Amino acid sequence: MTGYGLKDKVVLITGGGSGIGLATATAFAEQGARVAVADRNPAAAAAIAGDHAVDTTELDVTADGAIAGWVDAVADRLGGVDVLVNNVGLAPFRESFLSVTDEDWRSLLDVNFFAAVRASRAAIPYMIERGGGAIVSLASDAATQPDPFFVDYAVSKAAVLSLSKSLSMEFGPRGIRSNCVAPGPTATPAMDSFISSLSTELGKGFEETKEYFAKDMRKLPLGRMNDPADVAAVIVFLASDLARQVTGASYRVDAGSHVYL
């Protein structure tokens, strides 16, 4: 088998306006896919260069019925759904488990977990109509390497991992594959903001601080954090014909942080 087999496939991406989501939208567009992005700020995705226009929608994934409405509208405009990438997420720093309120838990799970539930529930019937499809959900190294300073984030990503495996079991016989990508530290806008704060605290330059964080704080064997494109490449692979026998899996893109498990 050669090629990704993604040309003209309809790909939906939540949180596709920046970071990993934007890199993923770009990577799918480069494969000739028909890409639809939902994001609070989708302007960057709309500006993806090349011959492949990206369908963009400004969307609050927590609004009642918003995700289902978006999936239905995209399926109507583009003719169905072949691939869903559950990417949208938040990762707030917490001082302690005791500092995380019920409302904190509810609001984070609404974005990080229930958005994936709602998008999958809306997209799967369209995939069944097509005779199959692929779901790729963003978990995290935190799903299996919990961090008390991101306790609710870690729990939400563990839930996404379990959801993905459950979907793979139920819908595999209908031709739908469901997999996760679990990134480690990645140079997204949120991570850049953290590195900037850390650089001020340490009195180091931005690039020096990135290297210090990767090598000395996280002790990543490869010595650097991910670029968003590193994660996007694995997402595209899992959605492609090259991974036609891969389902129920979780691919770590973490520069080797898992070796400390």
The CA distance from 211 to 22, in Å, is 24
Q: Which long-range contacts (CB under 8 A, 24 or more apart) does 139-143 make?
A: 139/164, 139/180, 139/181, 139/182, 139/250, 140/91, 140/182, 140/183, 141/182, 141/183, 141/184, 141/252, 141/254, 141/257, 141/258, 143/182, 143/250
Type of residue at 109: L
Length of the chain (residues): 261
Catalytic residue among 4, 126, 153, 251: 153
Rounded to 5°, angle at Cα 61 from 103 and 187: 90
Buried b (16+ CB within 10 A) or exposed e, 100-133: beeeeeeebbebbbbbbbbbbebbbebbeeeeeb
Whether residue 251 lies in the annotated active site: no
Q: Which residues, 6 or more positions from 187, have their beta carbon under 8 angstroms from its beta carbon? A: 210, 225, 226, 227, 228
φ, ψ of residue 238 in degrees (nearest 5): -65, -25
Least Cα distance to 255 among 151, 182, 204 occurs for 182
The enclosing H or E element of 177 equals strand 176-183
Catalytic residues: 153
